[in-house]
Structure formats: structure tokens, C-alpha cells
Amino acid sequence: MSLEDPQTIRKLWIVSLVVLALLVLADFWVMKDPHHHAHFGIDGSFGFYSWYGFGVCAVMVLVSKFVVGLILKRKDTFYDD
Amino acid sequence: MTEAGLPPPGLILVLGGLVLPLLRGLGPAIALLLPLLTLAAIWAIPTDLTVTMPFMGQYDLTVLAFNPPTRVFATIFAVMAFAGALFAHPITGIDSERGKRWRVELPAAFVYAGSAICVTFAGDILSLFIFWELMAIGSTTVIWSAGTKEAGRAGYRYALVHFVGGVLLMAGILAKVFALQSAGVADPLALHHYFFGAAGFEGLSLGTGDLAAWLILLGILVNAAAPPLGSWLADAYPEASESGTVFLSAFTTKTAVYVLMLLFAGTQLLVYVGLLMAVYGIVYAILENDMRRILAYSIVNQVGFMVCGIGIGTAMALNGAAAHAFAHIVYKALLLMSAGSVLYMTGKRKCTDLGGLYHSMPITMTCGIIGALAISSFPLTSGFVTKSMINQAAADQHLALAWFTLTAASAGVFLHAGIKFPWFVFFQKDSGLRPPDPPWNMRAAMIFFAAVCILLGVPGLYGPLYSILPFPAAEGETLYAPYTVPHVINQLQLLLFSGLAFFALLPVLKRTLTITLDADWFYRRLFPGAWKHLVRPVVLAFREFFDYLFNQIPQMLKDTVYSPPQETRVFKEWGLGGAMVVITGFLFAYLVLGYIAA
């Protein structure tokens, strides 16, 4: 089994997506836990950490690449003489 | 308890380090013992002991005193010096190429580490400053010892930035000392006069009368690598050798965290500085192609969490910042050891040149992944039991902006360091490179720190770390309970969905042969460019006019009023950096002599 094999990559994707789905569903259990409490309202809602984690990362990647990168990116020989 | 004649533990490393090259073949073995001796001294000294020595006749310097965060910082600095020395060990003997570099790099690294420990033991502002400056000299030498042209130039820029930071700090200290003296305070150097904190700093106006606290804060923020004062970090650290960068990652920024914690705890401005650092580090790391620069930017990101915690200023937040500094030093050094091993074995540092190394470097990969999981605060790693205290403090204080940004940054850590580093170096594509794992000493150093990353995160085993934090729990109470069902699950959700974002957006994240301009552009391009293309031509064009204005007219005036005998110049003007080196050298020599005399 090689990690470069498309078959392996496909299997890894399936396993990962199942794990992610189970993690979202785990919120049913978490929300009944005595330690569960929201500090700001929305952070206690169902699935918050899942969509927030995905959302902010997507935003950070896109902003880095297409806003900051567009303005400040240079060839890596920029400072060479 | 006060006692004269006992040296601060950090001096064992500083002085021992300087002797190492003279010990020839024994040097590398002694180098492993010195940090352990220092660690033993840190723990053997009773916490109520203070050691003072007279300074310039009228003051006493307190070179050894325990402040609340002293033990946790001093301990990890000593442990780091040990692991770093193990990683840098010149396996092939001290006359080999690597050994020749070792003879310069390791003594410099020990002076650097030892003076960082001395900073944590400083009981007054002047001895703190002296060792602060000595750190700059040690760390610059570490960078230079890589021996490349790039390292030479980057080290020079690094030294300039740090001496400017040192001047800011010194100016602030002097302003405060004079203010205290004119108010008739008997001990103007005592640290407690410099506790600006919430009341002291927020009460200040921006007026010129209150410059001292601002100058001191700016001087420290240069070393904390807060943007835009921190571009020196990603500029200089990755130019050091594979072992030099490991040392560099640990001391400068974390000493700044220690001093901020002591002097500016609760200063609200630092909440925002910390958040800016956390986000800035992620954005720059996402765009970066050089594996060690990715990790350098991620230092800024992690120190941002600590600075934010210091700004929040509650016991929970300060404990979190101190604990996180401890955990961070270990996993960051581990990540840089992993990257350093790859660099050492392949000679390559760009993600575009690497990939597929999992085939032949299993230990380097495993240790790198453990460091990556720890920096991402995965459950069962050190980051999980430390960083979450800062988030918890933000939630407890209902600081919504801080909490949502820190949580976003926690997800971003996994993205920019936790997955990005291992993915592009060890997986990604098959680069065809098949280097073996590095020599035994580098493997041992990595395995040691990987074990620490995991052990600190195991339920029940993080207790010793919690017990040396600045505000330990009262008898019978729990300092903080990281392992609750919601915390574990929520953290996994946050991180794994961040991972999903990484792989979903992989085409956008594809590495390119680029760098991203940072604030160092101002002193690397704008200022030299402005001088070359603007100021100099103008000056040259007006040379005759200026010559008339500044030379001939004054000369005429002088001749008409007074004709002095011909004088020869007996002194030469010094650059600021050179003068600071000499002054620091003098102060340090004085300290050593004073100690010997005492």
C-alpha cells in the first residue's frame, strides 16, 4: 500500500469523511454533558466548532492567497543581488 | 534570605559555554552536562533566596531572585539547552567541518541560553537589561556561525534591529530611573517600580511625560516579534544552521514573554497585539515555501497566544501563557529539529523541492508529526493542556473578540503548521529523495522532545508543570481541568474540520517559488533605495551649496570670532550598535568582577 496510490487516497478520504460526520454527530452527546456551556451563545450551538473550524480556515487561506498574496508576493529571488 | 557569593544559575551556562572550545575533545561531553548542572542549580536554590551585589557605589544589583514565573521559564530554558546541545553534538569530532562550526555555535548558544536564564532570575531592571543585551550578542553569533553569506547579512540585520530594541528599552529604563530619582525613591532600579500592568499602563496618557512605559514596552515587543517590529524573526532564524535555528526558536521571544508577564500583565493593548500576532503568523505561514520560514512565522503565531494571555492578565491567563511558553519551546524545537534533520540530510529547504520523505525518514517524520500535533493542541499532547487555559481565560472574562479570534487561530495553527509542514515535507509528492534518518544524536534529541510533548499531555502527568506555574492552585483545588468531554470533542471538531479545509483547498495552497514581503522590506529595500536614488543624488547635486552652508560659512564665522590652535581629532564616532556591544561588554565584565569580588 503506497500513499501515492489513488486507491489508497480514495480510501483515506472515505474514512476521514466518516470520522468527520461522526464528530459532528457527537455534539448530541456533548450538549448533554454537564461541562458543556456557552460563553457567547453561538459557541454552544450544535455543530459550532465544526463549521467554525472549516469556515475560518477557508477564509484565512483565501484571504492569504488572493488578498495578501496578490499584493505582497514576490519571486523568492527578490532580495538576491 | 539574602546571601552574597552565590552566582545566578544561568552563569554556569554563560561561563561554561565560553570555556568549552578550550576543552578540545572533552568539550562535546561537557556541553551535555552544563545544562543539567544549570537545571540542578535552578531547582536547588531556595525560592526565598536573593543575591545582591554592589553596583557603581550607590546601587545594589539583584542578580538572583525568584519572581512568580521564574522557575517555569528557567527550567524549560535549561532543558532546551540540553536538547539543543544534544542535537548540535559534533558526532564526527570537533575538527570536522561540523565540529568547527560547533566550536563557535555552541558556546554562543550557551551564552544566549544562559543569559536568558539570568534574565528570569534578575531582581532589578538593570541586571535584567544587561543579560537581555547579552542574549542579543549570543544569538547574533549563533546566526553568524552558519558561515554562509546569507547568514552573515541576516545576522547583521538581526543585530541592528535588536540593538535598536535595546536602545528603546534602555531609554525607557533611564527615563523611569530619573523620574523615580527626582521623586526621591531610594531604590529606583527595583523591579516593582516597573510593574506597569493594568493600572500602571492604562492610566498613562500618550503625552510625552509618560514615555518611559511606552519605550520599555516597544523595546520588549521588538524581541517578542510583534508585527511590524518582528520581521527580523522570519528573516534571520531560517538562515542559521540546522542546529542554530533550534536554539534560536526558544529564547528571545519567550524571554520577552517572561518580561511582559512581569511588567505588563493586564495591559489591555497586549490583547490586541497578541491577536494580531496570532493571525499574522498564520497568513504569512500559509504563503511561505521555505519549511523553516513556515515554522518561524508560526513562532510569531504561538507567541501571539501568550501575549494575548498576558494582556488578559487574570491568574488563569498568565498561567496559560507561562505553561504555553513551556510547551511551545519543546514542540517548536522539535519541529525545527525535524526540519533541521531534513535540511541536514538533503540540503534542501523549500517545500517545492521536498516531498515523499516518509519513505526513508520514519523517525524524523514521526517526531515531526508529534510536534505538529502538539503545536495544534491535539488531545493527549502538551499543547492541549496549556493553550486552552488562555482560551478559557478569554471566555471567563467575556472577551468575545479575543475568544473568537483565538479559536480561529487555533484552527489556523493546524492548517499552517500542523498539517502544512508534515504534508509538504514528508508526503505531498514523491521528490525522489531517499535520505536516511539523521545521525543518532539528532534522532535522540527528537525522540526526547517528542516524548516530552506526549507525556505533558497525558491526563495526570501534566501536574508537575501546573505546580510550577506563576499562580499554583491552592491546597486541594484544581488549577484547570483540560480533560472534559466537551473540550476534547470540540477541539477535535475544530482541528479536523480545519484539516478538511486544508485538503479541500489544496490546489490553492500549492507551493510557489515566492516570498511574501514583510516589514523588513523597509530597511532592506525602501531605506537603501531612497538613499541611493533620492537622498544621495540630491546631496551630491547640492554638494557645493551644502559645502558653503555647512563648512565655509561656519569657518568664516569661526575665523572672525576665534582662531584656535590646530587640533587633531583624537576620537572617532561610533555606530550605535558598536557602542551598545562595548557598553554591554563592560557591564557584563563589571558584573562578573563584582561577583568575584563579593
Q: Give B441-492 pLDDT, tens digit per residue.
A: 999 999 999 999 999 999 989 999 999 999 998 888 889 999 999 999 999 9
C-beta separation of B432 from B519 below 8 A: no
How far CA B323 is from CA of A75, B169, B483, in Å, comes to: 39, 26, 16
Q: How far is A66 from chain B (nearest CA, A)?
A: 9
Average pLDDT, chain B: 90
So what's the pLDDT on residue B562?
Answer: 67
Distance from chain centroid for Cα B238? 14
How far CA B452 is from CA of B28, B365, B369, B424, B448, in Å, comes to: 23, 17, 14, 25, 6
pLDDT bin (cut points 50, 70, 90) of residue B1 is very low
So what's the pLDDT on residue A14?
Answer: 94
Are B415 and A23 an interchain contact pair (Cβ–Cβ within 8 Å)? no
DSSP state of B190: B
pLDDT tens digits along B284-329: 999 999 999 999 999 999 999 999 999 999 999 999 999 999 999 9
Minimum mean pLDDT range among A7-21, B36-50, B361-375, B544-558: B544-558
Write out chain A residues lying below 8 Å of B525, CB-based. Answer: 79
User: Which chain B residue lies closest to A38 (C-alpha atoms)?
Assistant: B395
Determine the residue among A56, A68, A70 to mutate to test chain B binding: the one whose Cβ has the most chain B Cβ atoms within 10 Å.
Answer: A56
pLDDT at B422 over 50: yes
So what's the pLDDT on residue A30?
Answer: 86
Write out chain B residues lying below 8 Å of A52, CB-based. Answer: 407-408, 411, 494, 497
ipTM surpasses 0.90? yes
Nearest to B193 by CA among B123, B282, B91, B243: B123
Write out chain B residues lying below 8 Å of A39, CB-based. Answer: 395-396, 398, 403
pLDDT at B199 over 70: no
Residue A9 touches chain B, beta carbons under 8 Å: no
pLDDT at B545 over 90: no
pLDDT bin (cut points 50, 70, 90) of residue B222 is very high
Are A40 and B486 an interchain contact pair (Cβ–Cβ within 8 Å)? no
Nearest to B481 by CA among B464, B460, B465: B460
CA distance B410 to B408: 5
What the block records as the C-alpha cell of B324 is: 504555553
Residue A72 touches chain B, beta carbons under 8 Å: yes
Determine the residue among A57, A75, A81 to mutate to test chain B binding: the one whose Cβ has the most chain B Cβ atoms within 10 Å.
Answer: A57
So what's the pLDDT on residue A1?
Answer: 57
Write out chain B residues lying below 8 Å of A30, CB-based. Answer: 485-486, 489-490
Across the strands, what pairs with B61? B53
So what's the pLDDT on residue A36?
Answer: 84
pLDDT bin (cut points 50, 70, 90) of residue B84 is very high
pLDDT at B585 over 90: no
Minimum mean pLDDT range among A42-51, B58-67, B561-570: B561-570
Which of A40, A51, A65 has the CB atom closest to B508's CB atom? A65
Across the strands, what pairs with B350? B290
Residue A68 touches chain B, beta carbons under 8 Å: yes
Domain boundaries, chain A: 6-72
pLDDT bin (cut points 50, 70, 90) of residue B586 is confident
Nearest to B407 by CA among A24, A60, A63: A60
Domain boundaries, chain B: 1-182+223-259+582-598, 265-472+481-509
Q: What DSSP string runs through A25-47?
A: HTHHHHTTSTT---SSSGGGSTT
Write out chain A residues lying below 8 Å of B492, CB-based. Answer: 23
pLDDT at B206 over 70: no
